[in-house]
Amino acid sequence: MTAPPAPIERDVQFVAGDGEIDLTWGHPDPAFLPADVVAEATATVLAEHGWETLSYGAPAGPWTLRNAVAEHLRRGGEGPVDPHDVLITAGASGGLDLVLSLLARPRDVVFVEQPTYFLALRILADHDLEVVALASDEHGSVPDDLDRRAAALGRSDPAPTGRRMFFYCIPTFANPTGRSLPAQRRVDLVTTARRHGVTVIEDDVYRDTAPAAPASMWSIDPRTVIRLGSFSKSLAPGMRVGFLTAERTTIERIERCGVLDSGGGASHFAAMVVARLLVSGAFTTIAAGAASRLAERRTALVGALDDAALAFPVPDGGFFVWLRVPAGVTSGQFTAAARRNGVLVADGRPFFAGTPTGEHVRASFSMLAPDQLTRGAAILNETARSFG
């Protein structure tokens, strides 16, 4: 029997340990979380909006923030976005949970990429969904595989009483690979999903982590795709503010749900502060700073890793590099050896819904300064060579 996990008796999820180079966590660097700017925006919001900041919020989120998000997406190249198609959530995790609570039933099917974000798999499990991993090639999930599997399910479970189908994906600066799906692959996946009545849930949390993010899958077909956005990666995860964009009927369905009717909009106080940061332009400065720091760190880690010892796709953005461990070594063995040498990386196995290959580990470059990343990379190179 395994012992139950110890209770967490601190205020935050993670505190950095001493003496190790920890590349496991996909969090923004605590040293740069913008406490002063948030304090100033909070004071301004309270002074200007008083009781409205502290009351129950509008179920779909503050109108100011829905407008500001729409404008932010438009400026990012998404075309005109109607604020009625935006709903504020408690981060992307809260958005995913809300969407599944309302649109999915136990035993419904959700297709996933492999690898995919391991904690999204936890949320899918919370909803008792059947998870089906799609085949992938060098560009990402294979549309023909989605076509084949969705067609087979549609035949065995025809609508309207049959199981619903979803496709959860991270097409932009993915966790764990840092890669983005090419434009044509996005179109092919969305078209295939639409043909089979599959709802695409596009996890878009890394959009602001690097410049020139590709257009979202939602912008290709807002009737088929629900996009989950977040301010966790570019502003501060503790604010618990994210959003989703979806077609109007979906937004209205979610807006009328019990939890938002009873409790008001998600994270209302923080949402009012985020609205202020967007409207004042402070968010643009914060996000640009985070993106340029991430670019510097990505360059430091990628530049110092030895591709011959640990093959990896060069990340387009995001927080991570996805490393292939040397042939004949398992990800568990590699992770343990790296730990003995003072570097922590995440074993890649939990990122697979199907049988994991055990060939990968994930290294994050979001938390540490470039010199530590360079040192970490040197140790990882050495660890890989020690198996040779």
Ligand X SMILES: Cc1ncc(COP(=O)(O)O)c(C=O)c1O
Give the DSSP per-residue string, 260-292.
HHHH-STTHHHHHHHHHHHHHSHHHHHHHHHHH
Q: Which helix H or strand E contains 363, and what residues bound it?
A: strand 360-364
What are residue 168's DSSP bridge partners? 112, 201
- 72-104 as b/e, with b when 16 or more CB fall inside 10 Å? bbeebebeebebebbbbbbbbbbbbbbbbeebb
Closest approach, Cβ 318 to ligand X, in A, equals 8
Q: Which stretch binds ligand X (CB under 6 A): 48-56, 74-82, 86-94, 327-335?
A: 86-94
**CB count in 10 Å sphere of residue 212:** 9
Q: Which stretch binds ligand X (CB under 6 A): 40-48, 55-63, 89-97, 370-378?
A: 89-97
d(CA 381, CA 173): 24
d(CA 384, CA 377): 10
Q: Is 366 in the site for ligand X (CB under 6 A)?
A: no
* Nearest residue to the partner ligand X, using Cβ: 91
Q: Which of 83, 91, 265, 317 binds ligand X (CB under 6 A)?
A: 91
CA dist list (Å): 276 to 47, 61, 243, 283: 12, 13, 16, 9
Q: Is 205 in the site for ligand X (CB under 6 A)?
A: yes
Q: Which of 123, 170, 239, 305 binds ligand X (CB under 6 A)?
A: 170
Size of residue set near ligand X by CB under 6 A = 13
Site string for ligand X, 318-357 (x = CB under 6 A): ----------------------------------------
Q: Which stretch binds ligand X (CB under 6 A): 87-95, 143-151, 298-306, 380-388?
A: 87-95
Site string for ligand X, 209-248 (x = CB under 6 A): ---------------------x-x----x----x------
Q: Is 376 in the site for ligand X (CB under 6 A)?
A: no
Q: Give the nearer residue to ligand X in terms of CB position, either 198 or 236.
A: 236
Closest approach, Cβ 338 to ligand X, in A, equals 21
Closest approach, Cβ 91 to ligand X, in A, equals 3
Q: Which stretch binds ligand X (CB under 6 A): 90-98, 188-196, 267-275, 308-316?
A: 90-98
Q: Is 175 in the site for ligand X (CB under 6 A)?
A: yes
Q: Give the nearer residue to ligand X in terms of CB position, either 23 or 384.
A: 23
Strand 86-89 with 140-141, pairing: unpaired
Closest approach, Cβ 233 to ligand X, in A, equals 7
Closest of 337, 364, 310 to residue 176, by C-alpha: 364
**CB count in 10 Å sphere of residue 69:** 28
CA dist list (Å): 67 to 60, 113, 150, 215, 275: 12, 32, 36, 19, 9
Q: Is 203 in the site for ligand X (CB under 6 A)?
A: yes
Q: Which of 21, 86, 92, 363 binds ligand X (CB under 6 A)?
A: 92
- 344-365 as b/e, with b when 16 or more CB fall inside 10 Å? bbbbbbbbbbeebebbbbbbbb
Closest approach, Cβ 124 to ligand X, in A, equals 12
**Backbone dihedral angles phi then psi of residue 155, each to the nearest 5 degrees:** -70, -40
d(CA 101, CA 166): 13
The residues that touch ligand X, with contacts defined as CB under 6 A, are 26, 91-93, 117, 170, 175, 203, 205, 230, 232, 237, 242
